[in-house]
Amino acid sequence: MRKKHGHRKLGAGLYIALCFLFLYLPILVTMIFSFNSSKSLTKFEGFSLMWYERLFSDSEIMEAVYVSLSVALLATLISTILGTITAIGLSKSRKLLKEVIVNINNVPIMNPDIVTAIGLMILFSSMKIEKGYLTMLLAHIAFCTPYVITSVYPKVRSLDPSIANAAMDLGATPFQALTKVILPMIKEGIFAGVLLAFTMSFDDFVISYFVTGNGVKNISIIVYNMTKRTNPTINALSTIVIVVIMVTLVIVNVVPAINKKKNKKKMALELENMNHI
């Protein structure tokens, strides 16, 4: 019986290991070969940082990094503001309007990127807007905003309807009620929206590819262009992106856990004090 159980455990462990291997081996290979001293993508011929040197001296790539980051930051900022305001407004609207808007909001999320991309491309062309940085930014704001609405709206809906009135009753102007009461109560939803919007914007390829022009390229477009020939600079770039994402993930996950622990300790201390009284 025990033996059988042991086998099962071993099988489960092996299965998990294979899954992780399948997911992470390609990334690991990319990272290892970014330090390769030759151009080969199959044979590791010694450690070197030459691809990193090339990466940082390649002005086209650095330009793309700047475009990706600035578009992602601006699109996140603007879509978060737009989405949050929309979600708050929505919660105060009539029921029918509310349902219609929530469903319409889901369409761009479900829609294949290629359809959104072509749609936006045609829109910009028909309005005679010159394609480039601005069109890319506008497109990113357009496809990020629904994600923000989706993550903020449930939080807003769960608010006590009198909470804003309570703030104004105590002398807060409508704007103060928003910043001092409503926003702190929905900040988790906003934070989730920010993360989603930034990720969506940063790794978008299809839509960006269709709506850009005038030589404005983000990282995904550059990488796509580079894959046509062997170029380990991509590996170096990918490695940096992976490291940045990993560090961010660790911070996002570990910091709240530490805070929680601290709070728990504080609460326990307080409770003890209360008991003493």
Partner 1 sequence: MHNKIIELKHLTKNFGEQQVLKGIDLNIYENEFLTLLGPSGCGKTTTLRIIAGFEEPSGGEVLFNGVDISKVPAYKREVNTVFQKYALFPFLNVYDNVAFGLKIKKKSKSFIDEKVKKTLKLVGLEGFDKRNVTLLSGGQQQRVAIARALVNEPKVLLLDEPLGALDAKLRKEMQSELKKIQKEVGITFIFVTHDQEEALSMSDTVVVMNEGIIQQIGSPVDIYNEPENRFVAGFIGESNIIPDAVMKRDLLVSFDGFDFDCVDKGFKENEEVEVVLRPEDIDIVDVENSKIKGKVKSIIFKGVHYEIVVETQYRDYLIHTTDYFETGLHVGLSFGPEDIHVMYKM
Residues engaged in binding partner 1 (CB under 8 A): 160, 162-163, 165-174, 176, 180-181, 184-185, 270, 277
* Whether the Cβ atoms of residue 46 and residue 37 lie closer than 8 Å to each other: yes
Nearer to partner 1, 48 or 93 (CB): 93
CA distance 204 to 72: 10
Nearer to partner 1, 26 or 174 (CB): 174
| Minimum distance from residue 272 beta carbon to partner 1 (Å) | 13
Nearer to partner 1, 103 or 162 (CB): 162
Tokens representing 230 are 């062997």
| Minimum distance from residue 97 beta carbon to partner 1 (Å) | 15
Nearer to partner 1, 78 or 181 (CB): 181
Smallest CA-to-CA distance from 220 within 76, 113, 128 is with 113
| Minimum distance from residue 172 beta carbon to partner 1 (Å) | 5
Amino acid at position 190, single letter? I
CA distance 14 to 166: 57
Amino acid at position 27, single letter? I
Nearer to partner 1, 45 or 169 (CB): 169
3-state secondary structure of 159: coil
| Minimum distance from residue 193 beta carbon to partner 1 (Å) | 18
In sequence order, the β-bridge partners of residue 168 are: none
| Minimum distance from residue 186 beta carbon to partner 1 (Å) | 10
* Whether the Cβ atoms of residue 233 and residue 59 lie closer than 8 Å to each other: no
